[in-house]
Each structure stands twice: as structure tokens, then as C-alpha cells.
Amino acid sequence: MAMIPQWAKDQRQKGTEIKAIGGKYYLCKVSSKWDPELKRARKISGEYLGVLTPDGLIPVQRKLVDITEPVISKEFGASWLLASLTSDIREKLQVRFPDYWKELYTICLLRTIRPCSFRYIAERYSTSSISEIWPELALSGSSITSFLKGIGTRRQSISLFMKDFLMEEREYLIFDGTGLISLSEKMQDNQIGYNSKGIYDPQINLLYAFMGGQNGGMPAYYRKFPGSIRDISAFTSLLSEMNVSDTVVIADKGFGSTANFNDLDESGLKYIVPLRRNNQMYDRAPLQSADKSGFDGAFQFSDRPIWHYSQNDGKGHVLSVFLDGVLRLKEEQDYMRRLFERHEGYSEEGLRARQLEFGTIVLKTNLTEPAEKIYQLYKKRMQIEQFFDDYKNLMDFDSSYLQSDAAMEAWLFLNHLSMMMCYRVYDLLRTTDSLKKYSMNGVLQEYLSGIRIEKITGNWRYEVMTKGNRNLLKQIGLTLPEQPILF
């Protein structure tokens, strides 16, 4: 950041700030406004007052160029990164939603940078550089409400858009689901049912498919179902709409019931499903062996040895048990800490009952792949679970107050688009080996949102950039455009 000389600082009055640009020092008005989303005051640059010199201030009216507009500052960095990574999303939206594609893209870009409810979109839009590209968009709360009704009735267009991004070569699909609580009594899909936490409430079930293979983790397809449906019919219905049959379903623990396994077998689907540790389907005897003599062998995963053994049930199913010694020790230590701290539900009897299960994963499958491959596939799912959980904070906004099935469908599609954008950032960090140092939210909210542009004398230019942002851009291999234009 440029150093401002003392003679310039001595001329700064209350309610003003000095901007160092090109070796000159400009005096501008400055104020602050409380931002309810950031929960802190946000600086607002105001009217340009003149140029500071060692001999004093040269007011704006003395300059040969008449400057009548105030200095305008807008966010650029995070919007530019997302715009750079999602040109194909813009193109496909224009094809599938020719009348709404700009609004769709803009709302999702702004909510990806910083999750917010729809009533704050217009303000975010006005302070973002995307408003310079598309200055005509109507994004007030009432405008978005009307816009949602139009989008939500076009499930076929939504489906075609998602199919545009389905890869031809897909080895497997990873499924995850969540229950969305709604206060509306007008939605047909808002029905009584159990969610993943065992809560019996009116809700809507959301089932998601993620890509596996090289594009593992990419959000591929979603569909909402009535809250009362939590069985194989949701899988088969989703796969039918996707026009997919030759794939492997990797589900979560909540799906591992006898009835669901029977339905899966009848459907002909290939699957990998984790079982709860306390189930009675597998033999625990090898876990009691200190010398691992009851195990089939071990392999390396993430620099940790994973011991495993498998058993066939004679019906075409394989139950594989995996033991992570590092995880076992960690879980045992955690249980004992809670026991010593007298947490409710922790006892010495409970410790003895769980000791064999610490550090284990039990998977049931009808595949004939080696145990190591089955484990790797499931671990990919766990990575997606973390990504999905991190993303769900976006779903906390507005959902419970949506009043129609069409509005809910549109809201889910907006979330899907934001999830696609999130994944592009995540994948960039992954492929540049940056995840150890940077998080997806940190890159967008803490770093790149700080790269701003300002308009002085009719021209846009970059504000002074921090060293942290320069280091980030170098790490991910990107360079800002010479002119601050998004696309």
C-alpha cells in the first residue's frame, strides 16, 4: 500500500480520506453505513474534493477538468473470479432461459460471494461491478418474488440445463439428501416425515446427485420430493428423469435398512451403502484380534494404513469392514474425555461396548471391486458430504417462508447454480494445491472481495491491492485483466 506523506496527512479533515493514485494524493469525503449482513460498519467513499499538494488543497473547481461525479467504489475481485470460471454457465442459461438468464446469473453470483436473503440482493448488486455490465436489472425483493414464480414453473428447462452438464463418461453417482423445513401450508410437497435428525415435521425432501470419477464432487442433478418419501422410489425417479441407468449409487447411512436393500436389489441398481456400526450384519471377531490375523490385508490411504476384511452373505452382497487405527485412537480419546467430564450418555459400560467399533467403517455393496476401490469410492462421498454441509448455510435463507411449490423450485435452482459456482472455486483450489492454505469462503469473502475498483474522472481503475491478494492470485495462477472489466 502506498505511503501517504505527513504533509498530506496534516491536511486531512474529519470525514475525509486520502487516496494515493499514480503518485498524487486525492482528498475525498468518506462516511460509514451499518451493514446488517457483515454485522459491522462499511466504508462509503463520497464526493471528490480535490488534489493535495505541499502548498495546500487544490479544490476540484480549480482543475481544468470539471469533475462533477463522486468517486464510486465497487467490488471486483470475487465477481471476476466467478465470471472467469463460469462462462459456460452463462452460455447455457442464455439458451435455456433467454428471458431471465441475466437475473439468474447475477443473483447466484452475488449469493455465492456472500450468502444473503433476497431482500439484500439489490444493495449487493448496486455495489458490485456486475452492475456496470448489466445496469438495467430489477432485483428488488418484489421483483425477485415475481421472477421466482416464472422460473419455478419451468422444471423442464431446469432439467435440460442440468443435463447440459452431465458428463458422458461417469463411473458412478454419489447421492446426498436433506430435509427442508417449510412453514407453508400451500405446498403439495410439504408433508409430514422424518428428516436425517429423526425430527418428525412437515418438510420437503431434497435429493442430490454428484458426479464421481475425474469430476468427482461436481453438483449434477437435484429433485425435490414430498417429505413423506424417503425410500428407493426417490432414487429411481431421479435416475429416470436424468435418463441414467448404468451407474453406481453411493448413499448415506440413513439408507441402510433391510427394506431399502431389498428395493435396491429389485431395481437392479449397483450400490455402495454404509451401515451403522452397531448393526448385526457383520462379524466382529477379526476386530478382537490384536495381531490383525483375522484381516484380509491393508492398504495406504491419505498416508494412513487402512486394515480391512470382507465377508459374503451368499446373496450377491459383500460386507467390507475397514479399520483406521489413527481414527480409532482419536475416537477412543474423545469418548474418554467426555466420560471424565461426566457428559450425559457416556459411561464405562458404553466405552467397553463401543471399543471394537471405534475407527471402523462398514460398507455393503453388490459390486465385485476390490476392497480398496470400494473404500476410495466411499471416501469420495464423504468429501462431498463436507462440501454439501458447508454449502447448506446458503439454504438457511428464505426457504421456510416460501409459499408455493413454484417458488420453492426456483429457489432450489438458484441454490443449484450457486453450488455449481462454489464447486468451480473449490476445484480451482484443489487443482492448484491451495486447500491447505485457503478455504472457498475465505477466498471469496476475505480476500477477493477486497479487490475493488473505483471511478474517478469517468475512468475505472483498481484500488490499491493488498499483499495477501497478490499472494493468492499467484498461488492459483491467475492475473487480473489490465482493464477492470468482468467479461
Confidence of residue 183 (pLDDT cuts 50, 70, 90): very low
pLDDT at 230: 58
What are phi and psi for residue 342, nearest 5 degrees? Answer: 60, 40
* pLDDT surpasses 70 at 480: yes
Helix/strand/coil percent split, the chain, to 5: 45, 25, 35
Highest mean pLDDT, choosing among 36-40, 86-90, 145-149: 86-90
pLDDT at 2: 64
Confidence of residue 66 (pLDDT cuts 50, 70, 90): very low
184: cell is 407453508
Confidence of residue 401 (pLDDT cuts 50, 70, 90): low
Confidence of residue 420 (pLDDT cuts 50, 70, 90): very high
The position carrying cell 431482500 is: 119
Confidence of residue 198 (pLDDT cuts 50, 70, 90): low
| Alpha carbons 405 and 185: distance in angstroms, whole number | 11
The position carrying cell 471528490 is: 48
* pLDDT surpasses 90 at 388: no
| Alpha carbons 299 and 306: distance in angstroms, whole number | 5
For the chain, percent of residues with pLDDT exceeding 90: 41
Model pTM score: 0.75
* pLDDT surpasses 80 at 28: yes
pLDDT at 226: 78
Average the pLDDT over 26-50 and give the result: 82
Outline where DSSP puts E strands in 160-281.
173-181, 191-194, 200-211, 219-226, 248-250, 270-275
Continuous segment of H or E residues that includes residue 431: helix 405-431
235: cell is 432414487
Strand 219-226 to strand 200-211: parallel, antiparallel, or no bridges (unpaired)?
antiparallel
Average the pLDDT over 199-206 and give the result: 66
Confidence of residue 204 (pLDDT cuts 50, 70, 90): confident
Q: What is the pLDDT of residues 91-105, one digit of tens each?
A: 999 999 999 999 999
Answer whether 191's CB lies under 8 Å from 203's CB: yes
pLDDT at 259: 81
Q: What is the pLDDT of residues 273-286, one digit of tens each?
A: 999 888 888 888 99
* pLDDT surpasses 60 at 472: yes
